[in-house]
Amino acid sequence: MGFFKKIIDGLKKTKQAIGFKLNELFKRGIFDEEFYEELEFILLGADVGAETTENIIEELRERMRRDSVSDTAKAREYLKGILLEILGDDQFELECPAVIMVSGVNGVGKTTTIGKLANIFVKQKKSVLIAAADTFRAAAGEQLDVWAKRANVRIIKHEEGSDPASVVFDAVSSAKSRGNDVVLVDTAGRLHNKKNLMEELKKINRVIDREFPEAVRYNLIVLDATTGQNAVQQVEIFNEAIDIDGIVLTKLDGTAKGGVVLAIKDTMDIPVYFVGVGEGIDDLMLFDANSYVEGIL
């Protein structure tokens, strides 16, 4: 199944929340104040967020007025263009050797995401090593081990409760000696003690910088699309500790609130690089703004 088919299938619930309602709204062909009020209601219902929704409506209103648009098809194209401008054309481009630190709260699908990322890179003929640096959560290493086997990649792990930075040190040293292309670093997801978590992430960063300065660094955060606006807050918290480069949005197929993609990019200016649209190892894919917009409209 190609990307477009998968993303369309994965966005079915979001399309029901946005696309079908928008279709009925635009079909009226009357672009008055009531139209914009209903458009606002639809976007908010899909978790586009208050600030982003306001920005979209203001921009659409201005362009429609400026060009005296009364044609339904043209009005839809204007909206589509605004959404594409918000999302931009950022694409994840892997440069090797690379160290990709993956963060996110517990329960967002971080472990499975790391396994799926490993699978993607293996298919690109890259040699991958996973560092099981979430030593806090019980059985985190064992779960990651299962995914490492599925993706057919090596994994470095220590005992539960070990120093995460020491796991990363060993993983980086091993990757350098064996010439691995990519190191995927799992990290703890607990937020009940934010200060400790941030210090831990900073320490891991320092170890990587010191031991593998030639590596290209990527800091990705995994978000659960079903959490809606909470996802934006999670980005803010982790961004305080490490500069987040991009987002992996999981469970996009399980929510009607996939509009959060727009809210994240518009308010945080951090691109979505990957989206998860299923449970299978091949159900994580590079995000494509055009396919996303087509999928919801």
Window from 3-7, 174-178, 268-272 with minimum mean pLDDT: 3-7
pLDDT > 70? residue 3 = no
Distance CA 111, CA 133 (A): 11
Average pLDDT over residues 38-63: 93
Mean pLDDT of the region 35-61: 94
For 152-166, what is the mean pLDDT?
A: 93
pLDDT band for 246, please (50, 70, 90 cuts): very high
Residue 18 has pLDDT above 70, yes or no: yes
Confidence of residue 192 (pLDDT cuts 50, 70, 90): low
pLDDT at 2 over 70: no
Q: Quote the tokens at residue 234.
A: 């999670």
Query: What is the amino acid identity at position 156?
Result: I
Decide which of 191 and 170 is more confident: 170
Torsion of CA 4, 85, 88, 244, to 10 degrees: -120
| For residues 110-127, average pLDDT | 96
SS3 264: helix
Average pLDDT over residues 92-107: 94
Banded pLDDT at 150 (limits 50, 70, 90): very high
Is the confidence at residue 169, as pLDDT, over 70? yes
Q: Tokens 């293996």 belong to which residue?
A: 122
Could you tell me the CA-to-CA distances from 233 to 131, 236, 268, 296 in Å, in that order?
A: 26, 5, 10, 24
Tens of pLDDT, residue by residue over 197-210, are 888 898 999 999 99
Exposed, middle or buried by CB within 10 Å (0-12, 13-18, 19+), for 94? middle
The pTM of this model reads 0.91
In the sheet that 216-224 helps form, which strands lie side by side, from edge to edge? 154-156, 128-132, 182-186, 98-103, 216-224, 246-250, 272-276, 284-286
Mean pLDDT (whole number) for 2-10: 67
- Indicate if the pLDDT at residue 292 is higher than 80: yes
pLDDT tens digits, one per residue of 57-98:
999 999 999 999 888 999 999 999 999 999 999 999 999 999
How far CA 206 is from CA of 157, 180, 203, 238, 286, in Å, comes to: 19, 20, 5, 16, 28
In this structure, of 44-48, 206-210, 245-249, the range with the lowest mean pLDDT score is 44-48
